[in-house]
Amino acid sequence: MDRAATPPGKPQHGATTYRRLLSYALPHWPIFALAVVGFLVFSSMGVSLIAVTELLLDAVGAGIQESRGFLAKIVAGHFAGGVMPQDTARWMIPLAMLLIIVLRACGNFLGSYGLAYVGRSVIHSLRTELFEKIGELPSAYFDRYTGAYLISKVSYNVEQVTNSITKAIKVLIRESFTTIGLLIYLLLVNWKLTLTFFLFAPLIALIVRTVGKRFRKLSHRIQNTMGDVTHVTQEAINGYQVVRLYGGRKYENARFESASDKNRQQFMKLVVADNASVSVIQILVGLSTATIVWLALAPGMVESMTAGVFAAYIGAAASLAKPVRSLSEVFSDIQKGIAAAESIFEVFDAPKEPDEGKALLPEPVRGAVTFDQLSFRYDEAAPAVLSDISFSVEPGQTVALVGASGSGKSTLVSLLARFYEPSSGRILLDGVDIGSVSLADLRQEISMVSQNIVLFNDTVYHNIAYGELEGASPEEVRRAVELAHATDFVDELPRGLDTVLGDNAQMLSGGQRQRLAIARALLKDAPLLILDEATSALDNESERHIQAALTEVMKNRTTFVIAHRLSTIENADRILVMEQGRIVESGNHAELLASGGRYATLLQQQTAD
């Protein structure tokens, strides 16, 4: 499987994806509206500043007269004779320019802050929803896609969405208002000349549309290669001891360099497409501006304008280049944001763990478990992992599952916890089909200690009293620690139960981490207990302590034990020997030894070893 493989799913149209993305901004529409108002003020004041240069140039020339100039008709008409006095113009024009600059600055602040607030709120909502959805995905999803792939979505992809919400919309609104304002001003001054701009508009739109598709395609590739970079980094960090011990640094460095170089190559392709399109658009805008100047200098055209009007008009026409360039540049951010949003929405749209159960388990749960003709395969095309499994366990009994690796032992107990759904057959708990029970109600009745110990970067106390056990008293936690024979090393920690363990409790030995996991299971005190190689990381002395504790805690509790060391399950009420997803032998230790079958052979091999 490709490490950064993209989940299958029907791609959405870019506009549809972007509308869905913007829907996350709806709860913040008042602030968004204020931001729009701010940018409207900013853009209108920018156009006004250009228009005022008309009055400035006329004031130092022939004077501001109602009969001459576009803006002069509005301003000079309020004065006697249709002429603004020079003394009045001397203080009014600077004051107007200062007021325009102040309003423009205020508008920019209001728009930028408001949009940043909305943008970060949207990112927070997306990131939170994405994290919550990852927690609801079925186990099969994690089998198909690496953790680094999902981490890349939460970190890198969400940040790509940030630019399309904050920077892109900021530029889109602000520069669109500026472009519209300039075009309106140009049309009012001389509509014939201004129509020249619209001759180039279809060509610019075609370039933007064509390049946009290229942006989105390259953005998907960049996100996938970023998943590779994250994956290689995560493996090298998590396995640093193996890397160093076996001299794997050069190999890992080469893997990382290759993944990073692929990311660089895709990014540079995006840069080429981005800058090439912007350059072409700049040339087209420059060509349109040059055409306007050429036409404006035609005989009979200049005479219809004052020097101030002509200069302001050319200034406004030249000023169109910047907002048009910015709009073409921001399109790449929008396309990258759409590509990132598509990858995020693919996770949102992935099916959750099936959890439609409404049936209630009896109170209290006794722990009678029945596997009824159970079969399982990971997908329809894959071979069967379990085939026609049928057996029953009475409340309080201990059932041991033995067999070679890959025989289906861990998969069988995973089905009991409904980490997977059976392909056929059913599992009954106290006579109730567990498929008809809600996941929360079912898993509340199960404790589990697996061979893959998971401890969090938190205190010893909160690692034991985790999740729904958070309300446990210190005395109850202390009792669980004692039963798990973990008191000796816990008391030696700097702050005892309040010691923060760090990343996956690397400060502890494997056996110590396993005993804390056992303490967590003991504290839950559920009627069903699953021990998947629960003593695999313990030395002989620690194992004797744990076996004594487990023997006590397994009383009156239905327990499933997966063990490779057969000496640890001699006292089990029932031992099931599995091969290739089937139960080939069943009985207690003495019965299976007497039969001289597969179990006896396995025990003889381990004894010889």
Q: Which of 41, 189, 192 is nearest to 104 (CA)?
A: 41
Per-chain mean pLDDT for the chain: 80
In this prediction, residue 609 carries a pLDDT of 61
In this prediction, residue 140 carries a pLDDT of 82
For residue 307, CA distances in Å to 68, 70, 297, 315 come to 10, 11, 12, 12
Identify the CATH number of the domain defined by range 454-525. 3.40.50.300
DSSP track, 410-444: HHHHHHHTTSS--SEEEEEETTEEGGGB-HHHHHT
| CA–CA distance, 27 with 518 (Å, rounded to integer) | 45
* 411-445 tens-digit pLDDT: 999 999 898 899 999 999 999 999 999 988 998 89
In this prediction, residue 503 carries a pLDDT of 75
Token representation of residue 59: 């004031």
Phi, psi of 407 (to 5 degrees): -85, -10
At residue 230, what is the residue type?
T
DSSP track, 189-226: H-HHHHHHHHHHHHHHHHHHHHHHHHHHHHHHHHHHHH
Strand ordering across the sheet containing 574-579: 446-449, 528-532, 558-562, 398-403, 574-579, 582-587
**Is the four-CA dihedral 183, 184, 190, 194 of positive or negative sign?**
positive
Token representation of residue 606: 């381990």
pLDDT score of 187 more than 90: no
Pair 411, 587: CB distance under 8 Å: no
Average pLDDT value for residue range 493-501? 89
pLDDT score of 34 more than 90: yes
Q: Options 3.40.50.300, 3.90.190.20, 3.40.109.10, 3.40.50.720; which CATH number does 355-445+528-537+555-609 get?
A: 3.40.50.300
In this prediction, residue 65 carries a pLDDT of 58
pLDDT score of 393 more than 60: yes
Average pLDDT value for residue range 485-497? 88
pLDDT score of 240 more than 70: no
In this prediction, residue 103 carries a pLDDT of 92
Predicted confidence band at 46 (pLDDT cuts at 50, 70, 90)?
confident
Identify the CATH number of the domain defined by range 14-349. 1.20.1560.10
Q: Is 563 exposed, middle or buried (0-12, 13-18, 19+ CB in 10 A)?
A: buried
pLDDT score of 165 more than 70: yes
pLDDT score of 186 more than 90: no
| CA–CA distance, 451 with 575 (Å, rounded to integer) | 19
Q: Is 318 exposed, middle or buried (0-12, 13-18, 19+ CB in 10 A)?
A: middle
| CA–CA distance, 427 with 435 (Å, rounded to integer) | 8
pTM above 0.75, yes or no: no
In this prediction, residue 399 carries a pLDDT of 93
Higher pLDDT, 475 or 238: 475
In this prediction, residue 296 carries a pLDDT of 67
* 552-593 tens-digit pLDDT: 667 778 999 988 777 778 888 999 999 989 999 999 989 998
pLDDT score of 541 more than 80: no
Pair 581, 384: CB distance under 8 Å: yes
| CA–CA distance, 471 with 193 (Å, rounded to integer) | 76
* 54-108 tens-digit pLDDT: 777 666 655 565 556 666 666 766 666 566 667 776 778 788 888 988 998 999 8
Q: Do 14-349 and 454-525 show the same overall fold?
A: no
Pair 584, 389: CB distance under 8 Å: no
Give helix then strand counts, H and E, for the chain.
22, 10
In this prediction, residue 23 carries a pLDDT of 87
Predicted confidence band at 189 (pLDDT cuts at 50, 70, 90)?
confident
Higher pLDDT, 361 or 198: 361
List the domain boundaries for the chain.
14-349, 355-445+528-537+555-609, 454-525
